[in-house]
Structure 1
């Protein structure tokens, strides 16, 4: 596996254009929000304080998260005496809305929803390394998010895409953390022999979620894309990883045509034993009609290891970023409050089932020490999570889609592993070249 250095290749304005995509067709469209955004930030001077900051987000518009985040916003306003102006839009519009705000000069304040990557090339984001330095965050995750030595995005929740299982069946077949990929496959085979109606591992086997193949390629030792943006897809390690993943499907240990949503349903209905998800997995069991017994039995698994290599998970999670210059100190104070204040962290945990990324804060949240699932997710998944090299690029979604399409073709038998990955390498190289 490639080493993750402290600094990474800087992004270009061309990369911003790739992230904006079809914005030209939108003309002079503005942000969709519940209030008029505050004036554009003056970035000619140093960091200053300001009385009102914008909060670009989707969480205050979603019933499942609104109460927790409103508690955090209200708590900070009361403590600081400052005001938050929410600018709310659906998450699937976030990239467009943030790019529009950047182009018009209106982005000023804190962002939660949306890909911060599209704003990096503009130079309008503040480096939040100073905030991270005072927190107990996984070094591996933080370092993987740095761009040219700077950190523009602060993780708020302990997260990643990791494996979860039905602990009742897992105990019967010897499925546990720390297994080799061979022992993991053997445990899946025991599940299949015990009950042919169960899907041993509801792995993602179709797009849009087959970017999941990345953490398996990492686990075999392929960088996939290096920090200097060299594409290694198609090397011996990635071929071995995808061949193994395809063999699981061919052996009936996984199921063809499964996306993340399908896997959640299969697991929630008790029809699958293992699948990959975020720390909200236990909540998804409930929303998909899972039994109380399954909710109590669900537990995280450390991803199995190939040839003794470190366990790897792709970073996923909620985080915050902010504009630089005028109001930067105020925005950073808000971020520090949400990520590190005990009352804010408690609200996010109790009302949205999300544990704080800061381990020191997590240790103080009432009830979290007794939450075996969330604590297990931190140690078995989040502590092994890292961002991909292209997660820092405005074109990250294009690359994820290309990887998913390429691996999906292999899983469907439309191409051989080596030739399919060779073609995928060329496609990813083309995307990177277009945004160099």
Structure 2
């Protein structure tokens, strides 16, 4: 299956309501996008002396010091002020949608930008992004009707990572076929029956990982014109293979991403799937310095010559159009491209910048072998799902995860389970038409 930039579905008001309705604010959003003037159409100066910054980073211990330093740097540079509006990560969609409804969202946001697309509130960030060096295929897959409504601060994928020492011994390498990959896992199992060769996600909330395997077999899962292909021969073959790994003891039942991180850090698993923070997660989960230093990413194995795919992972910043837009974009540009700002996030939160030009200007990061390998082996093979641009993104991921979980648990056959899942996905897609 060759990859090309995916055309983008039109965003609908129904899509907005579907996306935030599950969060319990459907009633509060009953009039979202229905007023005669939207925040995005506000008149006034494109500059402002006080910039609102909506997000969760300043409320999290791991990121707070870095963001405080970044904001201080921008304020000194511009002599303008940042006014934080802090909310927890899991409340991002609700808080942003409510701010949009009330007309209060004005400035820069961090989090679930998708819920704001139908309101017309957001500025096109294409000009800002054009000045950055980013993974082109990945960024193209996130455009909506040719526009990009957020500037990626981090842009990567969920890729295979493992203990480089054990990987070498087992003959695991980049560019393997899925058959070669499974054979290598078998060798690990034979050498040490206590080891989990591949601590793949087999439990929600992270079974959206099934998507990149379906892509690799040739199923689009959801096409650009919002047609669901789940249940086709390709997705069935992918999930049969994935379940066979579990049935053969090459993966383990009931493993979520958090479980896999702990198993890997304890040396009980050789491989698992994670974001480019995997080596730092070894340390935070009690793993040894030697293991953290040995973590290596692997290119996802391929099926019958198809491309290797990973599901998009990352975050970015977005802003309201109209009043204060120029100031907002200046702040976003600073956060994404200023070397000092990027250094703060890398040093204190282990977050590497999406902009490759900035990466090369941070000496410690430029020498970071793991990050370099992750970019070439995982990021460059990553793409977003069509629903990553829809307000109902979380609902899609939850539904797909639940459907695949029932198959892995043996509650249904692969074909009938995917057929049932297809109907549920189509019900969500109907809200987007």
How many residues of Structure 1 are paired with residues of Structure 2 in the alignment?
424
2:75 aligned to which of 74, 77, 81: 77
For 1:150 and 1:275, locate their aligned partners in 2 and report how far apart those are by CA, in whole Å: 34
Equivalent residues of 1:54, 1:84 under 8 A apart: yes
Look up the match of 1:180: 177
In structure 1, how many angstroms separate the alpha carbons of the residues matched to 2:26 and 2:386? Answer: 28
Match of residue 305 from structure 2: 308
The gaps in structure 2 that reach 5 residues or longer are 31-37
| Residue 325 of structure 1: aligned partner | 322
SS in 2 for 1:263: helix
Following superposition, the deviation at residue 4 of structure 1 comes to: 3.9
Counterpart Cα distance in 2 of 1:11 and 1:300: 35
Structure-2 residue corresponding to 1:228: 225
Q: For residues 140 and 261 of structure 1, what CA distance do their matches in structure 2 show?
A: 29
For 2:40 and 2:312, the matched residues in 1 are separated by 33
Relative distance call for 1:6 and 1:187 in structure 2 (3 A) is closer
- Cα distance in 2 for partners of 1:202, 1:234 equals 25
Maintained 8 Å contact 1:249/1:256? yes
Q: Report the alpha carbon displacement of residue 158 of structure 1 after superposing the two structures with TM.
A: 3.8
Report what 2:89 is aligned to.
Answer: 91
Cα shift readout 1:338-364 (whole Å, capped 9, x = no counterpart)? 111111111111111111111111111
Q: Is the 8 A contact 2:276 2:371 kept in 1?
A: yes
Report whether the alignment pairs 1:162 with 2:159: yes
Q: Is the 8 A contact 1:41 1:327 kept in 2?
A: no
Query: Taking structure 1 as reference, are residues 130 and 273 closer, same or farther at Cα in structure 2, changes over 3 Å only?
Result: same
User: Secondary structure of the equivalent of 1:242?
Assistant: helix
1:41, CA displacement in angstroms? 5.0
SS at match of 1:159: strand
Structure 1: unaligned runs, 5 residues or longer: 29-39
What is the aligned partner in structure 2 of residue 205 from structure 1? Answer: 202
Partner residue, 2:333: 336
Q: Could you tell me which residue of structure 2 aligns to residue 33 of structure 1?
A: none
What CA distance in whole angstroms lies between the structure 1 residues aligned with 2:102 and 2:27? 15
Give the distance between the partners of 1:174 and 1:218, measured in 2 at CA: 25
**Cα RMSD after superposing both structures:** 1.6
- Tell me how far apart the structure 1 counterparts of residues 45 and 131 of structure 2 sit (CA, whole Å): 19
User: Structure 1 runs of 4+ off > 6 angstroms?
Assistant: none
Match in the other structure for 1:101? 99
Q: Compute the displacement of 1:413 (Å).
A: 0.7
SS at match of 2:154: coil
Instruction: Say whether 1:249 aligns with 2:249.
Output: no
Q: Do 2:113 and 2:150's aligned partners in 1 also have CA atoms closer than 8 Å?
A: yes
Aligned mates of 2:410, 2:351 — CA distance in 1: 38
User: 2:2·2:307 contact (CA, 8 Å) conserved in 1?
Assistant: no
- TM-score, structure 1 normalization: 0.94
CA distance in 1, matches of 2:161, 2:49: 44
* Structure 2 SS opposite 1:270: coil
Question: Partners of 1:276 and 1:176 in 2: how far apart?
Answer: 15
Distance (whole Å) between structure 2 residues aligned to residue 6 and residue 382 of structure 1: 17
State the distance in 2 between where 1:310 and 1:130 align. 30
* Separation in structure 2 between the aligned mates of residue 313 and residue 121 of structure 1, nearest angstrom: 27
Residue 57 of structure 2 corresponds to 59
- Length-normalised TM-score, structure 2: 0.95
Matched residues in 2 for 1:57 and 1:422: separation?
38
| Contact 1:2/1:222 (<8 A) preserved | no
From 336, 343, 348, the equivalent of 1:346 is: 343
Query: What is the aligned partner in structure 2 of residue 34 from structure 1?
Result: none
3-state SS in 1 of match to 2:91: helix
In 2, Cα distance between the equivalents of 1:170 and 1:24? 48
Over 3 Å counting, the alpha-carbon distance change for 1:353 and 1:404 in structure 2 is same
Q: Distance in 1 between matches of 2:204 and 2:3?
A: 28
Change (3 A) 1:259 1:367: same
